[in-house]
Structure 1
Amino acid sequence: MPERPHWQVQEAKQRFSEVLRAVENEGPQTITRHGEEVAVVIDIDQYRRLTEGRRSFKEVLMGPPISDEIAEVLEEIESERKNDFPPLRDFEIELGLDRPVDEGSS
């Protein structure tokens, strides 16, 4: 991947109009501070494409039900896991939890 054009912060501040023109003509522009990449300036349309349809974690939890495709995958996983583990009743018997509690003993 070719290296993205970069600008030092001070240079980008002084030549901001040029940075914006470069974004329009050449694509994303990287801003550096002391040689470290700190930001990227991108075209607004590209930004909108990148952020389109994004929902916060809260929106995902509180939002509409999951898609049918995801629901099918989850159902498949659930059915596979049911086959991997015995029913809870088997654990109750194994642990002796299936017997009535003797209330007279302590």
Structure 2
Amino acid sequence: MQTWQIQQAKTHFSEVIDRAITQGAQLITRRGNEVAVILSLKDYEQISGKSNYLLDTLLNAPKGDDLVVERSKESIRDLAL
């Protein structure tokens, strides 16, 4: 995680955002104290559990055993109508 002084982050805001997207979280400091983190939207949604993408949710779901579906070989029963 790269660290930016707040004034430096303000001056290079677009670069901070680009790096958050491509390299991950960016740490912001004020007077030597860590005060904020800039995240990409994707990283934020992942840690907050607010992913709006069904495909992402399905692809990241826990993997279980393979589903084996077997069809019954019995004949169809007669129904009285």
| TM-score w.r.t. length of structure 2 | 0.57
The answer to whether residue 11 in structure 2 is matched with residue 14 in structure 1 is yes
Q: Which residue of 1 aligns with 2:27?
A: 30
Give the RMSD, CA atoms, in angstroms: 1.2
For the pair shown, which has the larger CA radius of gyration, 1 or 2?
A: 1
User: Whose strand fraction is larger, Structure 1's or Structure 2's?
Assistant: 2
Pairs aligned (count): 50
What letter is aligned with 1:30? L
Q: Which residue of 1 aligns with 2:36?
A: 39
Stretches of 4+ moved more than 6 A in 1? Answer: none
User: Whose helix fraction is larger, Structure 1's or Structure 2's?
Assistant: 1
Q: Structure 2 matches for 1:74-89, cutoff 5 A?
A: none
In structure 1, the gaps of 5 or more residues are 54-106
State the SS of the aligned residue for 2:14. helix
Shift of 1:51: 1.1
In structure 2, the gaps of 5 or more residues are 51-81
| TM-score w.r.t. length of structure 1 | 0.45
Q: Structure 2 matches for 1:66-105, cutoff 5 A?
A: none
- More contact order relative to length (CA 8 Å, sep ≥ 6): 2
What letter is aligned with 2:48? T
